[in-house]
Amino acid sequence: MKERGCPLGILIPGFIRFLREGHLQQSYLEISERNCFPAICGRICSAPCEKACILAKDGNPIAIRALERFSSDFGKTRSKKEPKNRNGKKVAIAGAGPAGLTAAWQLALKGYQVTVFESMDKPGGVLRYGVPEFRLPKRILDGEINDIKALGVEIRTNFLVGKTAAIEDLLKEGYQAVLLATGAGITKFMELPGANLTGVYYGEEFLMRVNLMKMNIFSQNIPAFPIGKKIAVVGSGNTALDCARAAVRLNREVTLIFRRTQEEMRVRQEDCEYGKEEGVKLEPLTRPVEVLSDAQNRVGGLKCIRMDYADVSGDGTWDLLPVPDSEFVLDVDTVILAIGHRPNSLIAKSESKLMLNDNETVYVDPVTRMTPIPGVFAAGNVVTNAGPLVSAMASGIKAAQNIDNYLKS
């Protein structure tokens, strides 16, 4: 039953059996059959497999994620998977994030010559600029990416497809297929009065500054942006929790504000408990109303209102509504808004032939996953909208299959 829980199709009972019998390396090979990032998924996967586990009903599923992590940390061995005979066909991939790298891995194994174009200065995408060091050490990430490079995948950093070279240029240069895997990293702006004050950051900016520029407390670089002592983080997803936990590590007082209850947060409860243990104060059932300013136009406080479930209409539907007269002011001097992302389909601004759906995802044919431009495919969160890591990786695998079919025919 359990293998169905994994979008990547890892044979979960298989690798656990190897572990039980003490064959660590065998178990690692079993996982790496379907997953190019076992060490990463073992740390930050949202683990849909644990929800699908038959023991989940009792509330104690098998800790598959932890087993995967153990297996990859201690049983890591050179995979026997070698690229097939090179077929001489070139494929370009835009975006060295989870989806792009997974597709590159699959295509390289199928014998294609793959080049991944990345706009940041190092590959990894959200795994590098988004996920903080304490959840995913950069050392682990580098190791996994080096394994992919070892298959002959070329990664070209500082190259923004659509600006540094248009898609057409790539097709002219001899790439027979282009895969757009630009992810969903665009900040969603929040309609909140006072959101433009100094001291209001979006989650992406905060994490990016902490992750990329080594602006943590242990480095010699001083924090290069004004950040106060008391921080309110708004949001209930992984970004919000990561921001809160990163801020705690910068020795700040952190309050996490979200509309719903803790059980409804879109994070693993385990991570939430870690956060609490580290000192993040949770304020569930609270909604920010306005960012108050002080005399210098900085954040002077955050006005919030309590929320609660109420059955107003009386027909048994419980809606989340603000509690009347429950407004209060949180004494904070920095606010971090982490309320979600939009798909990164900015490339459509310079490529008029690409079509966008209403929710700004790139339109692809549902069967072939090809965009209206022949030979140009799209995969990952730019197609599926913001989603967990494994679904982006699964999408990358499927796109690799589609590209293979297209180039063979």
Task: Give me the helices (H) in 193-237, please.
Answer: 203-212
CB of 372 to another protein, least distance (A): 22
Interface with another protein by CB under 8 A: which range of 34-42, 75-83, 115-123, 244-252? Answer: 115-123
Query: Which of 187, 216, 261, 401 touches another protein (CB under 8 A)?
Result: 187
Told to check if 205 binds another protein by CB under 8 A, we report: yes
Told to check if 8 binds another protein by CB under 8 A, we report: no
186, amino acid identity:
I
Q: In 108-234, at which residue ranges do the beta strands (DSSP E only) sit?
A: 113-117, 154-156, 175-180, 186-187, 200-202, 230-234
Task: Give me the helices (H) in 38-116, please.
Answer: 38-44, 48-52, 64-74, 98-109
Binding to another protein, residues 282-341 (CB under 8 A): 296-298
Query: Which of 4, 78, 163, 276 touches another protein (CB under 8 A)?
Result: 163
Query: Which of 15, 28, 105, 129 touches another protein (CB under 8 A)?
Result: 129
Calculate the dihedral angle through the C-alpha atoms of 35, 41, 45, 51, rounding to the nearest 10 degrees.
60
CB of 406 to another protein, least distance (A): 27
Q: Which residues contact 145 (CB under 8 A, 6 or more apart)?
A: 96, 101, 123, 124, 155
- In the bound state with another protein, the residue whose beta carbon lies nearer, of 5 and 203, is 203
State the DSSP code for 188: P
Query: Which of 13, 174, 193, 226 touches another protein (CB under 8 A)?
Result: 226
Told to check if 209 binds another protein by CB under 8 A, we report: yes
Closest CA to 36 of 407, 389, 405, 343: 389
Told to check if 117 binds another protein by CB under 8 A, we report: no
CA 94 to chain centre: 16
Told to check if 193 binds another protein by CB under 8 A, we report: no
Q: Which residues contact 289 (CB under 8 A, 6 or more apart)?
A: 192, 193, 303, 304, 305, 327
- In the bound state with another protein, the residue whose beta carbon lies nearer, of 8 and 181, is 181
Cross-strand pairs, 247: none
Told to check if 248 binds another protein by CB under 8 A, we report: no
Query: Contacts with another protein: how many residues (CB under 8 A)?
Result: 41
- In the bound state with another protein, the residue whose beta carbon lies nearer, of 36 and 302, is 302
Question: How many angstroms separate the CA atoms of 210 and 216, rounded?
Answer: 6
- In the bound state with another protein, the residue whose beta carbon lies nearer, of 76 and 341, is 341
Query: Which of 153, 186, 348, 378 touches another protein (CB under 8 A)?
Result: 186
Cross-strand pairs, 201: 336
Q: Which residues bind another protein (CB under 8 A)?
A: 119-121, 129, 157-160, 163-165, 185-187, 189, 195-199, 201-202, 204-205, 208-209, 212-214, 221-226, 296-298, 344, 346, 349
